[in-house]
Amino acid sequence: MFTHVRVPEDGKKIEVRNGRLVVPDHPIIGYIVGDGTGRDIMPAAMKVWDAAVQKVYGGQRKIAWVRLYAGEDAEELYGERLPEETLRAIREFVVAIKGPLTTPVGYGWRSINVQLRQKLDLYACIRPVKWYPGVPSPLKEPHKVNMVVFRENTEDVYAGIEWEAGSPEAKRVAAYLKRTFKITLPPNTGIGVKPISEGATKRLVRKAIRYALENGRRSVTLVGKGNIMKYTEGAFIRWGYEVAKEEFGDVTITEAEVAEGKPADGKIIIKDRIADAMFQQVLLRPEEYDVIATPNLNGDYLSEALAAMVGGVGIAPGANIGDTLAVFEATHGSAPKYAGLDKVNPGSLLLSGVMMFRYIGWNEVADAIEAAFTRTIQQKIVTYDLARLMEGAREVRTSEFAEAIVANL
Active centre residues (catalytic): 158, 225, 276, 300
Question: Is residue 366 within 8 Å of residue 357, measured between CB atoms?
Answer: yes
Q: Give the span between the Cα atoms of 148 and 165, in whole angstroms.
A: 37
Sign of the four-CA dihedral 364, 315, 41, 325: positive
For residue 108, how many other CB atoms are within 10 A of its CB? 9
* Residue in 256, 281, 270 with CA at minimum distance from that of residue 218: 270
Half-sphere exposure of 16 toward its Cβ, with a 13 Å CA cutoff?
12
Question: Is residue 324 within 8 Å of residue 182, measured between CB atoms?
Answer: no
Known binding residues for Mg(2+) are 300
Question: Is residue 44 within 8 Å of residue 350, measured between CB atoms?
Answer: yes
Q: Give the span between the Cα atoms of 355 and 227, in whole angstroms.
A: 34
Q: How far is CA 10 from the centre of its chain?
A: 30
Known binding residues for D-threo-isocitrate are 111, 113, 117, 127, 151
Q: Is 183 left (phi over 0), alpha (psi -120 to 50) or beta?
A: beta
Q: Residues near 193 by Cβ (< 8 Å), separated by ≥ 6?
A: 157, 159, 161, 162
Question: Is residue 34 within 8 Å of residue 99, measured between CB atoms?
Answer: yes
Output DSSP code: residue 231: T
Q: What are the CA-CA distances from residue 92 to residues 16, 28, 120 (Å)?
A: 10, 10, 11
